[in-house]
Chains A and B, each alone.
Chain A
Amino acid sequence: QVQLQESGPGLVKPSGTLSLTCAVSGGSISSSNWWTWVRQPPGKGLEWIGDIYHSGSTTYSPSLKSRLTISADKAKNQFSLYLRSLTAADTAVYYCVRGGDRNYAGGNYYYMDVWGKGTTVTVS
């Protein structure tokens, strides 16, 4: 089955750039899925960051769009997040996630069904 593994620095400086990579195993990043990033600040809820479709098209959270880039490397079967101009508010656990959809009752229903274990990022 598909597994996802995040990697990247645990500590980054304010105003710096966060670079995280998600390695996909047991499946192909070229499959018809959305390869997604979600984060969770300490003690708080989940925030969708953005995703990249297998075609290469990206969708970003409006609140992060100006600082965010998500890209994919099909040769390495991985995708990456780059978040610029970091502040303490970006401190969180970052999850890479597979988004999928299913046709049901005439509609295409999107969901996030495979999650990495998460990586903790502290901005300080």
Chain B
Amino acid sequence: DTGVSQDPRHKITKRGQNVTFRCDPISEHNRLYWYRQTLGQGPEFLTYFQNEAQLEKSRLLSDRFSAERPKGSFSTLEIQRTEQGDSAMYLCASSLDQGWEGYTFGSGTRLTVV
């Protein structure tokens, strides 16, 4: 297993366009998390899944954001009608079911909205 993979590594898009990011977690990890990190800040929680169920969403996740994990394996995060304020690093992480486990993070997808 090569860890948590995120694709693409970088995405530049024009304001108003839709973008989709993919995350492939560690195969035996049931839990998958999405975070957003802007320069000089710590990761901000967006949403998380246990298997295919989306169990919690942050108020940061506006109606333009949607996440799926259809078969309990990979996940996608879609942003519709992108805005310049969406420019950030989008991080995916996965973990085992036990609540005390640390996360394994991917390298992130850097989104730039121009």
Q: Do A and B come from one complex?
A: no
Interface residues, chain B, CB within 8 Å of chain A? none
